[in-house]
Structure 1
Amino acid sequence: MTVWVDADACPVVIRDMLFRAAERTGVALTLIANQAIRVPAAANITAVQVSSGFDVADNEIVRRAESGDLVITSDIPLAAEVIEKGALALTPRGELFDKDNIRAKLNMRDFMDTMRSSGVHSGGAAPFSQQDKQTFANQLDRYLSRLRS
């Protein structure tokens, strides 16, 4: 099993948490981004730099992800694509997307996009908080615990 990271928008604090978890558990961790990402010198941690362009990193993650993998992303369409392949998706805020909830998330995303196109502004996401970090850590621990059992 591999943990894939949509690294261009992943907060540094979450990347650091993922590095520690990968070093502790030995799980394969791959960060994919349009820019160079520094990673610890560990055999199970890699970074892949893809060319710039719309959805290039997302497409690479979809191409590589397999059933049982975990993808770290805030991108709901990317999450939907990897879930179709049997993977799970986890946002940096700790929200877990799976086959049971991804359609509703896509519908809400599309609705909000329509609202923004109509001139309605929702104010965007709240700042990344300590609670978000804790929620992410708890979800990551659950996933890693399932791998060990």
Structure 2
Amino acid sequence: MTTQILVDADACPVKEEIYAAAFRHRLPVRLFAAQYLRHPDHPLISMTMAGAAFDAADDLIADAAGPGSLVITADIPLAARVVEAGALGLTPRGETLDARNIGSKLATRDLMADLRGGLEGMTMGGPKPFSKSDRSAFANAIETTLRRLGNG
């Protein structure tokens, strides 16, 4: 089983940490985004432009994911799809998404979407701003996860 890192890259705040881990472990990274994103010119890093169609990048990531894949995403429905395909998910804040917790994460996400829909005109706070401690938690989590996948 060859490990690969698949990245939902459009709004990913931890790309540099992903590259560093990939270089340390000599693992391929595939970036998926609506349009071209600058990235290191390195044989381990590749870029797939999905176009602007709704969920185009998500569909490509889900198709590429499987056992041995580590998918970096904050998109819970996408994480559910890749976990179902046998991959592991990891959020940019360092939270592992796997078969043990993806069902409850998806249910919570759906509940919150329903609540926001019923509160039209009212503002609800979004996620807290991304912080240095989130970046550090991600760097630690990707190392732990890559070792768990047999790359350390």
**Same fold by TM-score greater than 0.5:** yes
Q: Which structure has more RCO (C-alpha within 8 Å, separation ≥ 6)? A: 2
What residue in structure 2 maps to residue 113 of structure 1? Answer: 113
1:18-76 Cα offsets, whole Å, 9 max, x none, are: 11221222111110000101221211111111111110000000011111210000000
What residue in structure 2 maps to residue 15 of structure 1? Answer: 15
Letter aligned with residue 83 of structure 1 = V
Q: What is the deviation of 1:122?
A: 3.1
114-123 or 43-52: bigger deviation = 114-123
Letter aligned with residue 88 of structure 2 = L
What residue in structure 2 maps to residue 4 of structure 1? Answer: 6
What is the TM-score normalised by the length of structure 1? 0.94
Letter aligned with residue 133 of structure 1 = R
Does the residue aligned with 1:53 lie in a helix, a strand or coil? coil
1:75-124 Cα offsets, whole Å, 9 max, x none, are: 00000000001101011011111000000001100100010000164301
Q: What is the deviation of 1:144?
A: 2.0
What residue in structure 1 maps to residue 79 of structure 2? Answer: 79
1:55 aligns with 2:58: no
**What is the root-mean-square deviation of aligned Cα atoms in Å?**
1.2
Q: Which runs of 4+ in 1 moved over 6 A?
A: none
Unaligned runs of 5+ in 1: none
Q: Percent identity?
A: 44
Letter aligned with residue 45 of structure 1 = I
What residue in structure 1 maps to residue 140 of structure 2? Answer: 138
